Structure 1
């Protein structure tokens, strides 16, 4: 049975990692009125959400509210309800909130059609301030990974780096 959550107001929407750079697992987490939903995701999915949210926020007035920095930390224990697949994003002018839909990755048949419709789903609305804070936090998190090699631009592992341009 899949999970389905819908939050009109959230206490926190954040992203975080477990593990060390080069071997991190990314998560997104929503907390609202004692409920917590955690979704396992990829770093690129987090960056894509940030890119979209920043584009929408650039067309809106600056946010007046910002969550406290502690609200952006993952709450323990970190146990994923599902692995993130399709992402839906939008803006609701009537409520002045950004819509974020996170759906579970599903199986696809040879025609590209979804095989299983019973997938996990989280729909939430965040304020402009929450979206801006998520973006700032996610940017720092994504950038805190392994540094890139100055010659080949590939990530440098903590144990060393066999640069193809230096061989």
Structure 2
């Protein structure tokens, strides 16, 4: 069985979003372009780490290669729209890869399908090798599907901003223990399991 690469270089839209109520949300990365929409499912922590690592990658690209970073203030073109429907999961993400292409001054994000043996998701930042050579294909397993997008620094900054808002929009944390508060109630370990 051959793998499928969903490439958007660049996408018309690339966002992180959710389906469901806080406490029961499914997180997605969604790319749209050329009449296609591809949605891949991932964990909340993967979205959070992706946003953090993208910020680090942009900072490192600016330091090493003099790339002009977009303004850190909220962009006027923030995408607050919901995910495009229907949201059909192509695959569940196991690994996220990041790279910066110096020749085109773009960020490359690759979401790779979780293999059968993947127990824990992994985020690898490839900023040690900041360029992608034409024709270079770093695929750990030929049988895994992948979503590949190429973004400008401005589009990357917009993605980071939205991803942070999506992650923060979940259940508020308990002021005592920090665990998410449930609408149905919360057994706080700081209260020895008793409800307040």
Range of TM-score over shorter length: 0.7 to 0.9
* Equivalence map 1:108-119=2 (5 Å): 108=117, 117-119=142-144
RMSD over aligned Cα atoms: 2.0
Which residues of structure 2 form unaligned runs of 5+? 63-67, 119-140
Q: Provide, for residues 50-82 of structure 1, a one-character-per-residue CA deviation record: whole Å limited to 9, x for no partner.
A: 011111222422228x68334753111101100
Q: Provide, for residues 97-125 of structure 1, a one-character-per-residue CA deviation record: whole Å limited to 9, x for no partner.
A: 0010111000229xxxxxx7411111111
Distance, in Å, in 1 between the alignment partners of 2:190 and 2:29 is 36
Distance, in Å, in 1 between the alignment partners of 2:102 and 2:81 is 25
> How many residue pairs are counted as aligned between the two chains?
160
Which residues of structure 1 form unaligned runs of 5+? 110-115
Distance, in Å, in 2 between the alignment partners of 1:118 and 1:71 is 35
The answer on 1:100 being equivalent to 2:125 is no
Q: Which residue of 1 aligns with 2:145?
A: 120
Secondary structure of the corresponding residue to residue 99 of structure 2: strand
Secondary structure of the corresponding residue to residue 165 of structure 1: helix
Out of 143, 164, 167, the residue aligned to residue 189 of structure 2 is 164
Distance, in Å, in 2 between the alignment partners of 1:136 and 1:36 is 21
Out of 158, 164, 174, the residue aligned to residue 133 of structure 1 is 158
- Quick one: structure 1 residues 107 and 134, their matched pair in 2 at CA, closer, same or farther if it must change by over 3 Å? same
1:91·1:99 contact (CA, 8 Å) conserved in 2?
A: yes
1:14·1:73 contact (CA, 8 Å) conserved in 2?
A: no
* Equivalence map 1:1-167=2 (5 Å): 1=1, 2-59=3-60, 60=62, 61-63=68-70, 68-70=77-79, 73-108=82-117, 117-167=142-192
Runs of 4+ in 1 over 3 A off after TM superposition: 66-73
Distance, in Å, in 1 between the alignment partners of 2:76 and 2:147 is 21
Distance, in Å, in 1 between the alignment partners of 2:108 and 2:29 is 15
- Quick one: structure 1 residues 131 and 72, their matched pair in 2 at CA, closer, same or farther if it must change by over 3 Å? farther
How far apart are 1:158 and its partner, in Å? 0.8
TM-score in terms of structure 1 length: 0.88
- Quick one: structure 1 residues 140 and 134, their matched pair in 2 at CA, closer, same or farther if it must change by over 3 Å? same
Q: Provide, for residues 22-77 of structure 1, a one-character-per-residue CA deviation record: whole Å limited to 9, x for no partner.
A: 0000000011121111101111111111011111222422228x683347531111
